[in-house]
Amino acid sequence: MKKAFMGVRLKRLREERRLTQAALASALGLSLSYLNQLENNQRPLTVPVLLKLNAAFGVDVQLFSDDDEARLIGDLREALTDPAIGEQIATAELRELAASMPAVGRALVSLHRRYRSALEQSAALAARLGDDRQSALTSAVSTPFEEVRDFFYERHNHIDPLDRAAEAIARELGAAGGQAEAALIERLRDRHGIRVATFRPEGEEGGQRHFDVAEGVLRLSSHLGTGQRAFQIATQLAFLEHRDAIDGLVATGRFGGEDSRRLARIGLANYFAGALVLPYGEILAAAEACRYDIELLGQRFGVGFETVCHRLSTLQRPGAQGVPFFFIRVDRAGNISKRQSATDFHFSRVGGTCPLWNVYDAFVQPGRVLTQVARMPDDRTYLWVARSVSRARGGYHQPRKTFSVALGCDLRHAGRLVYADGLDLGNADAATPIGAGCRICERPACPQRAFPPVGKPLHVDEQRSAFAPYAVK
């Protein structure tokens, strides 16, 4: 653990517990002068003190995590480099704000997201009214989806109560993955009087699952595979048996409307289904045994590559943690349709992602697993695993869905993955320099840059031509 000066966070904890300095020092077994030095950033917060905080108050050490600080710095950089603010804020200032006043930092990020949402929605409304027919914003941003993503992001993509409840049911069923389908059908019939039937989806929208409450029939698409059917049945089971728990979790979120809350319920039900089909203890043990070989895990549990990646990004149970992964799904145009992070990797919300990321190379080599050691502008280095996934409804004229999914982790965990074999992990120069997105990336000489960085004045010289576009002063 590097030296961490967390004085403001300690003061905030003390104020929340309504303790004096003397009372907190006594509870932690520290001298008053030592605690005073900690609170004034004259001494770093050490691991023994963190453990004492946990023992005395049950404080999650994640409150003082460097990873959380890095996440907040990324969010602040994106929010405060907006040209409309009119200020150039140095990374050192962002780091100081994230470390010393994280609550203020989170409030600024939240305000900026509301501001951007309001701008985009007003521009979309103007376009529909004919006031701005050339506007690039033709529809309002999907705010409910962003709110639900933030809900899972803030919880490090791990929902412990649902995870444990799903694992308990999996133990009762005695089967996981695709093998759970028959046991799940039996449970629906015996406990809830619900019959499972199959239907053939028609039209462009089609469908995968439809529960007819009046008839007591759960209908599943005939196009689903065995593991997919088990997942859909488990999703319905979540609503039937754990609706109160789901509603309670939704009540803890910051949602702006009923659409967001409905989406959150669906997201939590899907989380439960994934945890039932891939029970925590089984998937973690199997992942560690095969060194997180995604394809082997898919074969063992009867599910697809994307499903395994998504589940691996949730394995953060206290006391039994897997590798902290980031998970992302993009299309060929760079649109992010899924993003989850168990740790500190920052996904840009502005201007797309980095074209140097191997997540885009996967489209060129369909079905092949690609690896990449990538370094961010702050010198944090990651191992990324990416592969394209494609699904079709069937038939020559039917459209296909093609995405690239990627799983990444900090390089310090790379040795636990089979995908690190043969890579030169110790050579910093071998890492591909990438960024969170062109508009907020700080790399001045990137030849692949698509946009100039926001908040940076351009250096335009009529007498010179450079290989890298958009030179900044």
DSSP summary character for residue 455: T
Considering only CA atoms, which of 209, 202, 260 is closest in space to residue 232?
209
Specify whether 275 is located in the same domain as 370: no
Total H helices, total E strands in the chain:
17, 11
Domain for residue 105, yes or no? yes
- What is the C-alpha separation between 214 and 71, in angstroms, rounded? 46
Q: How confident is the prediction for the chain on average, in pLDDT?
A: 83
* Domain stop point among 111, 141, 171: 141
201-229 average pLDDT score: 83
Q: What does the pLDDT look like over 441-451, one tens digit per residue?
A: 777 778 888 77
Q: In degrees rounded to 5, what are phi and psi of residue 304?
A: -85, 170
Give the pLDDT score at 247.
Answer: 96
H/E stretch holding 389 reads strand 381-392
Q: Provide the whole-model pTM.
A: 0.72
* Domain stop point among 317, 343, 360: 317
Specify whether 52 is located in the same domain as 164: no
DSSP summary character for residue 418: G
Q: Which two tokens stand for residue 317?
A: 């149970």
Specify whether 312 is located in the same domain as 167: yes
For the cut 50, the answer to whether the pLDDT of residue 58 exceeds it is yes
Q: Which structural domain range is residue 328 located in? A: 323-433
Give the pLDDT score at 372.
Answer: 95
Specify burial of residue 138 (Cβ count, 10 A radius: 0-12, 13-18, 19+): exposed
Specify whether 288 is located in the same domain as 388: no
Give the pLDDT score at 238.
Answer: 97
Domain for residue 439, yes or no? no
Q: Which two tokens stand for residue 389?
A: 């996934």
Percent of the chain with pLDDT over 70: 84
If you count them, how many residues does the chain have? 473
Considering only CA atoms, which of 239, 231, 209 is closest in space to residue 222?
209
Domain count, the chain: 4
Specify whether 330 is located in the same domain as 257: no
Scanning the structure block, which residue is given the tokens 């960024």? 435
Specify whether 231 is located in the same domain as 311: yes
Report, in this order, helix, strand and coil percent for the chain, each rounded to 5.
50, 15, 40
Amino acid at position 71, single letter = R
Q: In degrees rounded to 5, what are phi and psi of residue 404?
A: -115, 130
Q: What does the pLDDT look like over 251-295, one tens digit per residue?
A: 999 888 899 999 999 999 999 999 999 999 999 999 999 999 999
Specify whether 129 is located in the same domain as 36: no
Q: What are the beta bridge partners of residue 326?
A: 341, 408
pLDDT band at 234 (very low <50, low <70, confident <90, very high): very high
Residue 336 near residue 327 (C-beta atoms within 8 A) = no
Beta-strand relationship, 217-221 and 195-199 = parallel
For the cut 50, the answer to whether the pLDDT of residue 309 exceeds it is yes
Considering only CA atoms, which of 149, 127, 131 is closest in space to residue 139?
127
